[in-house]
């Protein structure tokens, strides 16, 4: 497999990125440039860790800020509806997200659709998004989804269980603050699962059929940084490792934003939504099978990836998963909604970017591996 294009057909990035330890304290001083009223969406853990308090302590007096606590779990359309109603009623000029990918995706979507009178579900179902209504500011507290680097929002429809993304070039953050100190209080299990998401995104964007020279530079550096820092950061979260992890996650986000992903994300979205499994965990379980499946299609890129991680890629990923204490939530569990999962995997834009074409039988092969079971037909004994 050889990357031929130098640049993607369109290059789009967040407007401004601050990469500095402790810089999150300046969030509200920076936000004041976007208007005197704003909503700060945050995770429960950002409140518990004291990160939110430190940001509010440094609020300029002239600024009116409403804090909105995210309920937790994977982001749903109803979360976006609620946040945009809160922000609209508050007459917010801007929205900021302080948290993991779920908080950032929710705040990004709510900022984009702040003044739209259409239900969010219409956009999730395919209606083109309007120009973003309000500036979005991103402060990630985990290193994983790379949401701060993209114009993508991954959301689940709670009524149908469908998890998919929408995007618009105007959804890019106007300001990103990458403050590795915020990762110090990230629980190890969250650090592990989100780090595996970042590693998956780096590998998938490096091997995507839409990869370019530019995305290869970003993705390969991301693989190197994440592979060398994830386990050490999980075992002992020192600043050097957390900084590498956050940098790698951001670079992977920029890479996927231009090269897209692969079949791991095609599978992880329906599996995560149908089984209530966190995204990073679903990615971790699918990644080794995708490496095995894609290996014949990626040629010398496999060797490059081995060089970047310092050993055979498949062996490295399997060992890393074990050392991070990640256990499959699918193994031995009855396979439910098989046909829906297959259809959603095949329809996914990520699956379409996979370096090796993915057919229906291939998805069955993946499901058999993931569930350790015969996936040739639906299993009736659901949970
Ligand atoms: Fe992901």
Tell me the CA–centroid distance for residue 285 and ligand 1, in Å: 12
263-275 helix and 360-371 helix, angle to the nearest 10 degrees? 60
Ligand 1 geometric centre to CA of 282 (Å): 9
What mean pLDDT comes out for the span 159-166?
91
203 and 303 in a single domain? The answer is yes
19-75: pLDDT as tens digits:
999 999 999 999 999 999 999 999 999 999 999 999 999 999 999 999 999 999 999
> How far is residue 144's CA from residue 148's CA, in Å, rounded to a whole number?
10
CATH code: domain of residue 32: 3.40.50.1970
**How, if at all, do strands 163-167 and 152-156 pair?**
antiparallel
Residue 2 has pLDDT above 90, yes or no: no
Which of 154, 182, 210 terminates a domain? The answer is 182
Tell me which residue has tokens 């971790």: 284
Domain that holds residue 291: 187-371
Sorting pLDDT into bands at 50, 70 and 90, what band is 217?
very high
Q: Is residue 2 part of a domain?
A: no
pLDDT, average across residues 223-229: 98
CA distances to 198, 299, 300 from 212, in Å: 19, 16, 15
Residue 68 lies in a domain: yes
Q: pLDDT digit string (tens) for 336-361? A: 999 999 999 999 999 999 999 999 99
Q: Would 4 be classed as within a structural domain?
A: no
Residue 377 has pLDDT above 70, yes or no: no
Domain membership flag for residue 380? no
Q: Are residues 157 and 54 in the same domain?
A: yes
Q: Is residue 378 part of a domain?
A: no
Query: How far is it, in rounded angstroms, from Cα 279 to Cα 40?
Result: 24
pLDDT in tens, 282-318: 999 999 999 999 999 999 999 999 999 999 999 999 9
Question: How remote is the CA of residue 279 from the centroid of ligand 1, in Å?
Answer: 7
Q: Work out the mean pLDDT of the chain and round it to a whole number.
A: 95
Question: Is 86 found in the same domain as 131?
Answer: yes
Reported as a pLDDT band with limits 50, 70 and 90, residue 237 is: confident
Question: For residue 151, how far is its CA from the centre of ligand 1 (angstroms)?
Answer: 14
Distance 101 CA to ligand 1 centre (A): 9
Q: Is the pLDDT of residue 254 over 60?
A: yes
Find the 269 Cα to ligand 1 centroid distance in Å. 9
Distance in Å, CA 181 to ligand 1 centroid: 22
Check whether residue 28 and residue 158 sit in a common domain.
Answer: yes
Average pLDDT over every residue of 88-92 = 98
- Among 157, 182, 207, the domain-final residue is 182
Overall domain count for the chain: 2
Q: Clarify whether residues 191 and 177 are in a common domain.
A: no
Statement: residue 373 has pLDDT above 80: no
Q: Do 97 and 206 reside in the same domain of the chain?
A: no
Q: How many A from CA of 265 to the centre of ligand 1?
A: 6
245 CA to centre of ligand 1 in angstroms:
15
Cα(194) to ligand 1 centroid in Å equals: 8
Contact assessment for residue 104 and residue 137, using Cβ atoms and an 8 Å cutoff: no
Q: Are residues 209 and 87 in the same domain?
A: no
Asked if 172 contacts 124 with a C-beta cutoff of 8 angstroms, the reply is: no
Q: Is residue 286 part of a domain?
A: yes
Q: Residue 383 has what pLDDT? A: 32
- Specify if 347 maps to a domain: yes
Residue 201 CA to ligand 1 centre (angstroms): 6
Residues 173 and 207 in one domain: no
The span from the CA of 294 to the CA of 199, in Å, is 16
Å from CA of 197 to ligand 1 middle: 5
What is the 8-class DSSP label of residue 176? E
- 212-242 b/e (C-beta count within 10 Å ≥ 16 → b): bebbbebbbbbbbbbbbbbbebbeebeeebb
Q: How far is the CA of 195 from the centre of ligand 1 (A)?
A: 10
* Domain CATH number, residue 344: 1.20.1090.10
Looking at the structure, do residues 337 and 252 belong to the same domain, yes or no? yes
Instruction: Answer whether residue 162 is part of any domain.
Output: yes
76: helix, strand or coil:
strand
Q: Is the pLDDT of residue 381 over 90?
A: no
Distance (angstroms) between ligand 1 centre and the Cα of 36 equals 34
Pair (96, 110) in one structural domain? yes
> Which residue spans within the chain are E strands per DSSP?
17-19, 37-42, 64-69, 94-99, 136-140, 152-156, 163-167, 175-178
Both 254 and 271 in a single domain?
yes
Tokens of 72: 């937790």
Give per-residue pLDDT as tens, 163-210. Answer: 889 999 999 999 999 999 999 999 999 999 999 999 999 999 999 999
Task: Please give the distance, rounded to the nearest whole angstrom, from the Cα atom of residue 247 to the centre of ligand 1.
Answer: 16
**Which of 119, 152, 182 represents a domain boundary (last residue)?**
182
Tell me which residue has tokens 């979360």: 79
327 and 249 both lie in a single domain: yes
How many residues comprise the chain?
Answer: 383
CA of 204 to the centre of ligand 1 (A): 10
Strands (E), 149-228: 152-156, 163-167, 175-178
End-to-end CA distance of the chain: 42
Q: How many Å lie between the centroid of ligand 1 and the Cα of residue 103?
A: 14
- 153: its two tokens: 């929002």
């Amino acid at each position: 497999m050889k990357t031929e294009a130098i640049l993607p057909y369109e290059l789009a990035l967040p407007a401004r990125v601050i990469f500095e330890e402790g810089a999150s304290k300046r969030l509200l001083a920076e936000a004041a440039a976007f208007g005197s009223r704003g909503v700060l969406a945050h995770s429960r853990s950002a409140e518990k860790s004291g990160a939110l308090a430190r940001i509010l302590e440094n609020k300029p007096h002239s600024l009116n800020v409403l804090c909105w606590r995210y309920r937790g779990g994977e982001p749903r359309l109803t979360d976006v509806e609620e946040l945009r109603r809160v922000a609209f009623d508050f007459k917010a000029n801007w929205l900021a997200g302080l948290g993991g990918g779920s908080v950032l995706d929710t705040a990004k979507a709510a900022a984009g659709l702040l003044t739209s009178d259409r239900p969010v579900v219409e956009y999730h179902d395919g209606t083109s998004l309007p120009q973003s209504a309000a500036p979005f500011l991103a402060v990630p507290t985990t290193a994983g989804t790379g949401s701060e680097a993209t114009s993508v929002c991954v959301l689940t429809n709670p009524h149908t269980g469908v998890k998919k993304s929408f995007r618009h070039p105007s959804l890019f953050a106007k300001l990103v603050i990458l403050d590795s100190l915020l990762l110090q209080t990230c629980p190890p299990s969250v650090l592990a699962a989100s780090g595996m998401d970042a590693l998956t995104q780096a590998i998938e964007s490096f091997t995507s059929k839409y990869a370019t020279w530019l995305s290869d530079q970003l993705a390969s550096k991301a693989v190197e940084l994440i592979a060398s820092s994830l386990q050490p950061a999980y075992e002992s979260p020192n600043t050097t490792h957390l900084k590498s992890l956050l940098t790698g996650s951001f670079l992977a986000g920029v890479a996927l934003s231009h090269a897209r992903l692969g079949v791991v994300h095609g599978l992880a979205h329906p599996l995560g939504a149908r089984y209530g499994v966190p995204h990073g965990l679903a990615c971790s379980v699918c990644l080794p099978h995708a490496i095995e499946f894609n290996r014949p299609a990626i040629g010398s890129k496999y060797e490059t990836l081995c060089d970047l991680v310092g050993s055979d890629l498949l062996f490295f990923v399997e060992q890393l998963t074990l050392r991070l204490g990640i256990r499959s939530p699918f193994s031995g569990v009855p396979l439910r909604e098989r046909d829906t999962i297959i259809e959603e995997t095949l329809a996914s834009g990520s699956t379409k970017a996979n370096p090796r074409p993915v057919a229906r039988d291939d998805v069955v092969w993946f499901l058999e591996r993931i569930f350790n079971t015969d996936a040739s037909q639906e299993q009736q004994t659901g949970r």
